[in-house]
Structure 1
């Protein structure tokens, strides 16, 4: 495990979308934090979720698994899931090496992600 700030996730509704702000380092130990954040959105369905990864400094395959589960859930619900950057080089490397980057809609920043979501 890397030393450094543990992952934190803040959930908010912004311009008609769910926004999850993920910060720090996300690995196997943060699984409960990530699942809990997703559960906060269960009571109200919005047309899109933006996961802001601009402050995420490390992610492992457990985090990637969580992202893929979130993607699948949104696809099944007919809602958008957008990753907002800028992504750290480590996160880009994880998504590229695993061949999963093309499974996600990735925006350069939170504003671009909200435009993709159709939020004004």
Structure 2
């Protein structure tokens, strides 16, 4: 099929450009993950968190944020819509990430439970 394509010289394999980066950070114990999606060359990192975040699983979030900082990300966007459980460790990791050199911005629909946690703890303004 490709041999008949006039844009691909005969005998040469088509080149595929990788436009997106996808990396999944998984908790060693428990059910939590953070996935990086989006443009590899972008100075903005888009992360999607899912699962249950507590002291045993929050390391995957910290690792993803740390990689973004090492990559000199100017902004980190985090979707928390699929987070089903969190504790104060998760909240602390979010506050730490927000205060870092690459600001953290929560995007997408914010579940009521997380919004309420921010209201109760006084961190909603962050």
Is TM-score (shorter-chain normalized) higher than 0.5?
Answer: yes
Structure 1, unaligned stretches of length 5 or more?
104-120
Structure 2, unaligned stretches of length 5 or more?
1-29
TM-score (normalised: structure 1)? 0.69
Higher-helix-fraction structure:
1
Map Cα deviations across residues 13-59 of structure 1 (whole Å, 9 max, x no partner).
43831011101121121122122212222332132110111211222
Count of residues in correspondence between the two structures: 95
Q: Distance in 2 between matches of 1:85 and 1:58?
A: 17
Which structure would you say has the larger Rg?
2
**Larger RCO: 1 or 2 (CA < 8 Å, sep 6+):** 1
Runs of 4+ residues deviating >6 angstroms: none
Query: For 2:64, which of 21, 34, 37 is the aligned residue?
Result: 37
TM-score (normalised: structure 2)? 0.66
SS class of match (1:23):
strand
Query: For 2:105, which of 65, 82, 98 is the aligned residue?
Result: 82
Q: Cα RMSD between the aligned structures?
A: 1.9
